[in-house]
């Protein structure tokens, strides 16, 4: 039985349809992250699962029990759904101590004093702040307040924990520290967690699966590694980017030789493809090739398969260096580990890691799943960009 089953869930706020037919299944014990740009509906979906927002259409089933049905206007009260929510703002009671904040949910359930004490201290221990039990929220740092909010959510041992951007008010160092804590907590609790964020890095680090949202719809659900490697559309690829860095795009064409083999030709390079296309291009199908900055190697010396380029700008950042280069008239971004000894105007050579190259349909932006670069024996246009001419591309396709 799944922890959550959402079927065609829609939500309208005012005259706007904020969620437009959400289908999603979350298994027990998963760490599922809702990821997407601001305003795409992540928080609204979280609130709808929690029962703080009514679904206008579709059904929500939690652990086999229907809790909302838009068609019959059924809506089970939030307090009866067996879940807890942690908000971005923590929402601690300022006049209560840490102990009392965490104990609140247990007192409502009328548990005995000794049982409450034992459970609260266990929860504070799990988030590693048991020494702060007598303090008031105003006497705590942001990170400590965050831990209290989480302790309060886990103390009643809910099957489902909903976390809405819980780390967004913390500074960069604390965020990274808390990520590790959340990962540990998830392992220890075994609860199902739904986590809302617009931070790609956070989503990749924490999740067992990620649901990507755009404009009230889920556009891809996948494991972090699969999402990072093979985004389903160019738009998702761009959204994921690469730690705030631009994704490299190169426009090109897929060419079809008489014997059925396919070739990609672009201003930067050309190479053979393996696999099949649903419809074979006659003159040449427009495609966009993407490769992340960390999947390009840069070196001083030519080796077969390398693409000549000219160094444009070097951005040293201590542990890594970003270099932009011009290849075939296109500006590409390369990320190198450590420091790098390049200067503007230097000639250098690029090696593309072919397993990280993705091809997207030029018009629809959809991933061309059926074709991959064959072993990348690159024809180097960049060393002589003038030789690249769409009209002559077909002549370049080898004949057998
Ligand atoms: N109470 C409200 N009144 C009017 N519009 C609302 C309300 N709540 C949400 N919306 C609209 O619904 C859409 C989705 O909002 P939601 O908060 O779910 O997005 P989000 O993806 O969580 O964004 P963020 O990352 O900025 O929190 C937005 O366009 C927002 O303006």
Q: How confident is the model at residue 268 (pLDDT cuts 50, 70, 90)?
A: confident
Ligand 1 pocket test, pick from 35, 39, 163, 165 with the greatest ligand atom count within 8 Å of Cβ, gives 39
Cα 319 to averaged position of ligand 1 atoms, centre (Å): 37
Tell me the CA distances in angstroms from 370 to 182, 360, 388, one per residue in order.
38, 11, 26
Q: How confident is the model at residue 387 (pLDDT cuts 50, 70, 90)?
A: very low
Upper half-sphere CA count for residue 349 (Cβ side, 13 Å):
12
Ligand 1 pocket test, pick from 15, 40, 162 with the greatest ligand atom count within 8 Å of Cβ, gives 40
pLDDT at 10 over 70: yes
Supply 283's token pair.
Answer: 């003159």
> If you average pLDDT over residues 365-380, what whole number do you get?
78
pLDDT, tens digit (0-9, with 9 covering 90-100), for 331-359? 999 999 998 889 999 999 999 988 889 99
Among 350, 356, 305, smallest CA distance to 331 is for 350
Beta strands in 103-157 (DSSP E): none
Query: What pLDDT does 82 receive?
Result: 86
Cα 34 to averaged position of ligand 1 atoms, centre (Å): 14
Most confident by average pLDDT, 11-25, 86-100, 117-131? 11-25
Burial (Cβ within 10 Å: 0-12, 13-18, ≥19) of residue 211: buried
Cβ 56 vs Cβ 10: under 8 Å: yes
pLDDT at 394 over 50: no
Residues 28 and 190: their CA atoms lie apart, in Å, by 8
273 three-class SS: strand
Cβ 32 vs Cβ 207: under 8 Å: yes
Q: Which residue has its alpha carbon closest to ligand 1 atom 29? A: 39
Supply 273's token pair.
Answer: 């493809």
> If you average pLDDT over residues 198-218, what whole number do you get?
94
Q: What are the pocket residues of ligand 1 if the criterion is a CB atom closer than 6 Å to any ligand atom?
A: 13-14, 18, 36, 38-44, 198
pLDDT at 35 over 90: yes
Cα 13 to averaged position of ligand 1 atoms, centre (Å): 9
Q: Which residue has its alpha carbon closest to ligand 1 atom 18? A: 41
Residues 57 and 70: their CA atoms lie apart, in Å, by 4
Residues 337 and 317: their CA atoms lie apart, in Å, by 10
Q: Which residue has its alpha carbon closest to ligand 1 atom 14? A: 41
Query: What pLDDT does 182 receive?
Result: 86
Query: What pLDDT does 376 receive?
Result: 61
Query: What pLDDT does 397 receive?
Result: 46
pLDDT above 70 covers a percentage of the chain that reads 92
Report the b/e string of 146-185 with b at 16+ CB within 10 A.
bbbbbbbbbbbebbbbbbbbbbeebeeebbeebbebbeeb
Neighbours of 272 (CB within 10 A): 18
Cα 12 to averaged position of ligand 1 atoms, centre (Å): 11
Ligand 1 pocket test, pick from 42, 195, 219 with the greatest ligand atom count within 8 Å of Cβ, gives 42
Cβ 18 vs Cβ 192: under 8 Å: no
Residues 188 and 243: their CA atoms lie apart, in Å, by 29
pLDDT at 7 over 80: yes
List strands edge to edge, sheet with 65-69: 16-26, 4-13, 57-62, 65-69, 74-75
88 three-class SS: coil
Q: How confident is the model at residue 377 (pLDDT cuts 50, 70, 90)?
A: low
Cβ 77 vs Cβ 51: under 8 Å: yes
pLDDT, tens digit (0-9, with 9 covering 90-100), for 292-334? 999 999 999 988 888 999 999 999 998 999 999 999 889 999 9
Residues 239 and 214: their CA atoms lie apart, in Å, by 10
Q: How confident is the model at residue 167 (pLDDT cuts 50, 70, 90)?
A: confident
Of all atoms in ligand 1, which is nearest to the CA of residue 43?
22
Residues 47 and 176: their CA atoms lie apart, in Å, by 26
């Amino acid at each position: 039985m799944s922890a959550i089953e959402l079927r065609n869930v829609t939500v309208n706020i005012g005259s706007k349809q904020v969620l437009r037919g959400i289908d999603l299944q979350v298994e027990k014990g998963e760490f599922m992250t809702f990821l997407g740009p601001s305003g795409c509906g992540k928080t609204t979906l979280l609130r709808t699962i929690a029962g703080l927002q009514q679904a206008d259409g579709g059904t929500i089933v939690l652990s086999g029990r229907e809790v909302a049905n838009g068609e019959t206007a059924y809506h089970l009260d939030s307090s009866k759904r067996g879940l807890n929510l942690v908000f971005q703002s923590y929402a601690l009671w300022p006049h209560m101590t840490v102990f009392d904040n965490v104990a609140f949910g247990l007192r409502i359930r009328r548990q005995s004093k000794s049982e409450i004490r034992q459970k609260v201290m266990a929860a504070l221990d799990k988030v590693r702040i048991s020494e702060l039990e007598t303090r008031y929220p105003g006497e705590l740092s942001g990170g400590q307040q965050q831990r209290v909010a989480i302790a309060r959510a886990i103390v009643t041992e809910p099957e489902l924990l909903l976390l809405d951007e819980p780390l967004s008010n913390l500074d960069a160092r604390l965020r990274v520290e808390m990520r590790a804590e959340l990962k540990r907590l998830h392992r220890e609790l075994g609860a199902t967690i739904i986590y809302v964020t617009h931070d790609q890095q956070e989503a990749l680090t924490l999740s067992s699966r990620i649901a990507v949202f755009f404009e009230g719809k889920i556009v891809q659900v996948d494991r972090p590694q699969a999402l990072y490697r093979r985004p389903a559309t160019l738009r998702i690829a761009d959204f994921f980017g690469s730690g705030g860095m631009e994704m490299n795009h190169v426009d090109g064409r897929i060419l079809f030789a008489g014997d059925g083999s396919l070739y990609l030709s672009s201003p930067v390079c050309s190479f053979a493809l393996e696999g099949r296309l649903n419809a074979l291009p006659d003159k040449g199908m427009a495609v966009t090739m993407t490769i992340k900055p960390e999947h390009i190697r840069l070196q001083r010396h030519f080796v077969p398969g390398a693409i000549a380029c000219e160094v444009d700008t070097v951005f040293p950042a201590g542990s890594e260096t970003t270099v932009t280069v011009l290849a075939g008239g296109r500006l590409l971004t390369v990320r190198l580990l450590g420091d790098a000894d390049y200067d503007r105007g230097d000639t250098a050579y690029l090696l593309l890691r072919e397993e990280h190259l993705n091809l997207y349909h030029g018009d629809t932006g959809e991933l061309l799943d059926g074709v991959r670069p064959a072993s990348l024996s690159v024809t180097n246009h960049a060393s002589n960009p003038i030789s690249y001419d769409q009209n002559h591309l077909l002549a370049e396709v080898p004949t057998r």
